[in-house]
């Protein structure tokens, strides 16, 4: 490329909008809290389905006890994934907001 004599000021090229708020580039960052929450809800349903799949009311008392233990294990997974999804969503939102504020101040 040949030098045309036009040198732009660095502030005009490397400003906040060009570096941080590039149109369309922040879309994935804005979607992530919803993705984390959705994955937490998906894990909740998977845990409940796994827990309910071994529940047998027509068997012996010991089989019912084992089914209830499996149900509790599935509920543990369900609640754990829900909590992990919500915490991930909150942490992502907070970090993203703090980074945006940091770059806006610069």
DSSP 3-state assignment of 6?
coil
Residue 5 vs residue 36, higher pLDDT: 36
**For residue 102, which phi and psi values (nearest 5 degrees)?**
-60, -45
What tens digit of pLDDT does each residue of 50-106 get? Answer: 888 878 778 788 888 888 888 898 899 999 999 999 999 999 999 989 988 887 787
Give mean pLDDT, residues 36-43: 95
User: 6-43 burial, b if ≥16 CB within 10 A, otherwise e?
Assistant: eeeeeeeeeeeeeeeeeeeeeeeeeeebeebbebbeeb
């Amino acid at each position: 490329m040949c030098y045309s004599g036009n040198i732009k000021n660095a502030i005009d090229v490397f400003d906040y909008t060009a570096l941080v708020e590039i149109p369309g580039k922040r879309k994935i960052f804005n979607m992530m809290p919803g993705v984390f929450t959705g994955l937490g809800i998906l894990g909740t349903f998977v845990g409940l389905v796994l827990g309910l799949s071994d529940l047998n009311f027509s068997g012996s008392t010991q089989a019912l006890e084992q089914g209830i233990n499996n149900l509790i294990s599935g509920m543990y997974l369900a609640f754990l994934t829900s909590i992990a999804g919500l915490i991930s969503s909150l942490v992502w939102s907070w970090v993203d907001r703090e980074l945006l504020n940091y770059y806006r101040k610069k």
